[in-house]
Amino acid sequence: MTTKGMVPSPGGEVLIRAPAKINLGLAVLGKRPDGYHEIETLFQAVSLYDSLAVRRLKRKAVRLRAPDFRGRERENLCWQAAEIFLGETGLPGGLEVELAKRIPAGGGLGGGSSDAAAVLLGACRLYGIRPSAMEMARWASRLGSDVPFFLSSGAAVGTGRGEVVEPLSSGVPRCGLLIYAPGFELSTPEVYGALDPAGLTPSRRRFTMLVNSWKKGDAEALGKRMFNDLEEVALKRFGELRDAKTALASGALGAMVSGSGSSIFALYDDGATARAAAGRLRGRLPGTIRTAHFLSQRHHWGVVKR
């Protein structure tokens, strides 16, 4: 995500589109003493968005308007992002965040993380604050392992617990993309917790080969080489996901669970093939099926004008 193009309106408001991500590769390398897992992942931003409005408040407070959110306000990452911003900057004012969700929650698509990054970027823009990239990354990583990725755009390699991000600068592979959300959520801590460390076979080579396929723009190789060490846990937990994956894989270059699930994405030769597959599968699979595309670094998902 970038603030380029985010337009602060005279009333002190920015409107932001926060994109989803998929993980084209996710290797779990081992468990760390701090309880997290050491991973190597290939993040790819995709054209499925939540919408946010971030506004200035005169008094020092955080207000969240999120009609689709069913939890305690403080558990929402947008609320936490606003708190961190106000705490770290020590500004006298406050923030109001209005959030309209389209990215399914608990789907391994990074919606909550993207929203949180959008609040940080939007708040900086509203208040005219320019923290260093390192400082922003530090705030973001306090919010969650996936949040730093959303401060950049396009694709990136994530290491550590996912928070150490190295953007990939070449053009994105051209292919069709379909994203299936089954209509139920999977908990990231539960999925990581169910991993059997003895079952991990860390091979750095498969990750290097995957990233090389991405860099070459070779969608066919990408489809063949995609992998996700968390996938089997998700598929074991919900047998119907395995059937959905089989259905999505038919005619695709590859299909895979994203992150810790529950969503599954599939790559196709082109957009038309993806749309045809979506037409075939809608009605056959419960939940929602959407076509999308990879976002490159050139995409600014800043603004919606007002």
| Catalytic residue set | 21, 146
Tokens of 128: 């005219």
Query: Are the CB atoms for 112 and 185 separated by under 8 Å?
Result: no
Q: How many residues bind ligand C5P (CB under 6 A)?
A: 11
User: Which of 161, 225, 290, 299 contacts ligand C5P by CB under 6 A?
Assistant: 161
Rounded CA gap, 289 and 278, in Å?
Answer: 6
Which residue matches tokens 């959905």?
A: 244
Phi, psi of 153 (to 5 degrees): -150, 175
Tokens of 176: 């069709």
Options 32-40, 224-232, 243-251, 297-305: segment touching ligand C5P (CB under 6 A):
32-40
User: Which of 188, 218, 269, 275 contacts ligand C5P by CB under 6 A?
Assistant: 188
User: Which of 25, 108, 122, 162 contacts ligand C5P by CB under 6 A?
Assistant: 162
Options 19-27, 144-152, 241-249, 283-291: segment touching ligand C5P (CB under 6 A):
144-152
Nearer of residues 162 and 176 to ligand C5P, judged by Cβ: 162
Q: By CB neighbour count within 10 A (0-12 exposed, 13-18 middle, 19+ buried), where does 83 fall?
A: middle
Of 221, 21, 219, the residue nearest 114 (C-alpha): 21
User: Which of 16, 22, 39, 155 contacts ligand C5P by CB under 6 A?
Assistant: 39
Strand pairing report for 94-100 and 62-65: parallel
Options 17-25, 63-71, 141-149, 290-298: segment touching ligand C5P (CB under 6 A):
141-149
Residues that bind ligand C5P (CB under 6 A): 36-37, 39, 144-146, 161-162, 188-189, 192
